[in-house]
């Protein structure tokens, strides 16, 4: 199979699977199709990387590019019509307004100025694209397999009379994967915009799964409201994308992202289109002031949260910003991006401290880590980009593991509250172990997220960005605080808890175990990932890379530490001679290890509770500060650019 055939397969095959799953209603057929499709997509993703491994990057000419462009144009109109109809149906008129503005604007440009601009290479695969293909293909496909068992339980717990809409759910999941593959391999910005908008509409339907198209008796109005919030904010970013494309085509006579980067590398300023494209990336990556759409996505089924937060939706935003990194740095575009990312990282990390809902902790953690990646892209140095891409890799694997673990825990114990996870090791021992691996992967050494954050701080120091150094220090301290609280909850043992691990679907346990294994594997593969994928990408975009934020020797030491941990775990697992003794409590143990005699000789139940400091780090307070600060930064930057363009 040629490389272009693999590319076409990765975009087309998930689309065909999506259509098949929409038509077929049988559970047995759906289970088989999803599993076979996941294996095929993972295999094709790995095959593409193998095919392209020897090249530094390859452009692809598409013979039918003009015809494909026309089909995309028609589809864009159809997408706009769908948005207008839905907005009118639910009386949410801001989404139709954005659709009515940006779609005609894009069509006008394509039929006028854009029609005369030659696009020689509509598709391009470089090392960053390979990394994204692996994340989408492996992590995204595993999430669809997990969804098989999860959605059976989800449907079982629905109110009587709620129709089974799982065919629609799986259709959206695979359509999402198809669009993401197209997005990360597109060099033609008009094509990238097309796939960009498909992901926005898919996220709308997935977030609104419990509300849209239900009867009024069963409609979840919160889900509907949050779905429209996500759509509006992403359409706003899409409008920025359109403006960026128009500026690039009008002033620089190109629609190719690679050409834009080359122009910037030659010393010409491409700040104006870069600002609007980066703005689109900021909205898609749920940075403040647009982070509320991703927090609102928590109302959706857990596979949706995992898909949006870890492997697809938000990664599209940081992918574009990392791509733009060579033309950012110490210009108005770069300063806007790094400051928005930095403020988001700091305040989202603080907000996570006050959360007891596990999904919200994961949501704020996601927003914070995306902020750090965005800041790396804004700094625009090879060191910072190296750290940012490493953060993308580790975050995708580890965060998807945690989201899926929380989803399973919620189904089994009836709560997603961290305070209800006492004794999880007794009730769900395997799940608790997987969750601990995920949490350790997010903030403990020698796992990749902490090491990548260290590399990020080094890159900030080397770029003389003192403010970002201060931000990462305080933000990382907050990160350690909320992860430690959660880990302490999971580690606590409680008496009299029934083991219910057998109730977990086999598909869910398989995906948990696979992602936990991948968390370790990517840490062990740290030096290989750096030398084989990241360094060639950086050399192609920044010239020679003399130093990295983390030396090769330190990367080897990291791998040795991870290997030692794995060996120790394998050697001692199940070999401890534990002795059960009565627990010491705040008073006389009544014999059940759950109650004790208090000072008034009454019985008091054991209660283990964390401190959440709501009065200091409440999410409302953090969001207000963040929204105001980032809005001022963005508005001021866009105002400067508009003033500059007006004087040209």
Pairing of the two strands 588-589 and 123-126:
unpaired
Contact in structure between 374 and 321 (CB atoms under 8 Å) = yes
Output the pLDDT for position 219: 57
Bond prior to 289 in cis (omega within 30° of 0): yes
- The alpha carbons of the chain give a radius of gyration, in whole angstroms, of 25
Say which DSSP state 298 is in.
G
CA pair distance 142, 137, nearest whole angstrom:
8
The pLDDT of residue 217 is: 54
Alpha helices by DSSP H, listed for 414-447, are 424-427, 429-443
442 burial via Cβ count (<10 Å: 0-12, 13-18, 19+) = buried
Q: What is the pLDDT of residue 579?
A: 65
Looking at residue 257, its pLDDT comes to 94
Q: What is residue 298's predicted lDDT score, i.e. its pLDDT?
A: 86
Bridge partners (DSSP) of residue 40 are none
- What whole-number distance in Å separates Cα of residue 229 and Cα of residue 220? 15
pLDDT tens per residue, range 165-213: 899 999 999 999 999 999 999 999 999 999 999 999 999 999 988 877 6
Provide the pLDDT for residue 578.
Answer: 63
pLDDT for 546 equals 67
**What's the confidence (pLDDT) of residue 216?**
60
Distances from the Cα of 5 to the Cα of 191, 194, 565, angstroms: 18, 21, 41
> CA of 503: how far to CAs of 275, 373, 413, 434, in Å?
50, 38, 11, 16
Enter the pTM of the model: 0.93
β pairing state of 57-60 and 603-605: unpaired
In this prediction, the residues of the chain whose per-residue pLDDT falls under 70 are: 1, 56, 159-161, 213-219, 311, 494-496, 546-554, 572-585, 646-648
Q: According to the model, what pLDDT value does residue 207 have? A: 92
Q: Please count the other Cβ atoms lying within 10 Å of the Cβ belonging to residue 578.
A: 5
- What is the reported pLDDT for 580? 62
Can you spell out the DSSP letters for 67-129? HHHHHHHHHHHHHHHHHHHHHHHTT--HHHHHHHHHHHHHHHHHHTTGGGS--S-SEEEEHHH
pLDDT at 35: 96
| 176 vs 184: CA distance, rounded Å | 12
Q: Where are the domains of the chain?
A: 328-576
Kindly report the three-state secondary structure assignment for every residue of 133-169. HHHHHHHHHHHHHHHHHHHHHHHHCCCCCCCCCHHHH
CA distances from 416 to 298, 348, 369 (A): 11, 20, 22
Residue of 118, 224, 94, 217 whose CA lies nearest to 159: 217
Tens of pLDDT, residue by residue over 238-276, are: 999 999 999 999 999 999 999 999 998 887 889 999 999
């Amino acid at each position: 199979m040629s490389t272009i055939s693999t590319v076409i397969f990765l975009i087309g095959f998930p689309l065909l699977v999506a259509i098949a799953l929409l038509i077929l209603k049988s559970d047995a057929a759906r289970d088989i199709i999803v599993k076979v499709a996941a294996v095929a997509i993972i295999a094709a993703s790995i095959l593409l990387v193998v095919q392209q491994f020897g090249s530094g990057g390859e452009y692809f000419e598409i013979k039918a590019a003009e015809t494909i462009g026309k089909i995309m144009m028609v589809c864009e109109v159809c997408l706009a019509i769908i948005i207008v109809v839905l907005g009118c149906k639910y009386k949410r008129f801001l989404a139709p307004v954005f659709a009515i503005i940006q779609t005609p604007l894009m069509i006008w440009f394509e039929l006028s100025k854009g029609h005369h601009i030659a696009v020689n290479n509509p598709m391009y695969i470089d090392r960053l694209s390979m990394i994204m293909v692996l994340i989408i293909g492996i992590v995204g496909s595993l999430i669809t397999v997990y969804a098989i068992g999860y959605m059976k339980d989800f449907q079982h717990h629905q109110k009587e009379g709620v129709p089974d809409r799982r065919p629609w759910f799986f259709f959206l999941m695979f359509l999402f994967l198809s669009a993401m593959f197209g997005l990360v391999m597109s060099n033609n910005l008009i094509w990238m915009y097309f796939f960009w908008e498909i992901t926005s509409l898919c996220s709308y339907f997935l977030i609104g799964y419990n509300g849209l198209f239900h009867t009024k008796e069963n409609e979840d109005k919160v889900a509907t409201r949050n779905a429209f919030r996500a759509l509006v904010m992403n359409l706003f970013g899409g409008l920025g994308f359109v403006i960026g494309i128009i500026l690039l085509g009008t002033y620089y006579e190109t629609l190719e992202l690679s050409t834009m980067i080359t122009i910037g590398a030659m010393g010409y300023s491409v700040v104006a289109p870069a600002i609007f494209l980066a703005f689109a990336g900021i909205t898609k990556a749920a940075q403040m002031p647009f982070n509320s759409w991703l927090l609102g996505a928590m109302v959706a089924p857990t596979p949706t949260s995992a898909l949006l937060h870890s492997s697809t939706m938000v990664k599209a935003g940081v992918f574009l910003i990392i791509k733009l990194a060579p033309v950012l740095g110490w210009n108005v575009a770069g300063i806007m991006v790094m400051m928005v990312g930095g403020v988001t990282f700091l305040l989202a990390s603080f907000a996570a401290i006050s959360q007891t809902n596990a999904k919200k902790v994961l949501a704020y953690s996601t927003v914070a880590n995306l902020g750090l990646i965005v800041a790396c892209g804004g700094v625009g140095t090879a060191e910072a980009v190296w750290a940012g891409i490493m953060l993308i890799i580790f975050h995708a694997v580890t965060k998807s593991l945690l989201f899926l673990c929380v989803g399973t825990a919620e189904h089994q114990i009836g709560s997603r509250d961290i305070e209800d996870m006492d004794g999880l090791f007794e009730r769900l021992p395997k799940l608790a172990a997987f969750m601990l691996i995920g949490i350790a992967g997010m903030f403990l050494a020698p796992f990749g997220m902490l090491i990548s954050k260290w590399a990020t701080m080094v890159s900030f120091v080397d770029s003389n960005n003192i403010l970002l150094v201060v931000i990462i220090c305080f933000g990382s301290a907050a990160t350690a605080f909320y992860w430690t609280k959660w880990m302490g909850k999971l580690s606590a043992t409680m008496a009299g808890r029934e083991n219910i691990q057998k109730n977990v679907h086999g598909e869910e346990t398989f995906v948990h175990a696979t992602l936990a294994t991948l968390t370790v594997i990517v840490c062990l593969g740290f030096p290989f990932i750096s030398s084989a994928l990241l360094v060639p990408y950086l050399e192609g975009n920044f010239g020679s890379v003399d130093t990295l934020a983390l030396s090769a020797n330190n990367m080897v030491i990291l791998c040795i530490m991870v290997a030692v941990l794995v060996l120790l775990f394998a050697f001692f697992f199940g070999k401890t001679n534990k002795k059960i003794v009565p627990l010491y409590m705040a008073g006389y143990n009544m014999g059940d290890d759950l109650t004790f005699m208090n000072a008034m000789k009454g019985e008091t139940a054991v209660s283990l509770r964390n401190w959440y400091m709501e009065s200091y780090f409440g999410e409302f307070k953090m969001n207000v500060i963040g929204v105001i600060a980032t809005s001022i930064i963005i508005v001021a930057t866009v105002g400067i650019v508009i003033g500059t363009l007006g004087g040209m």
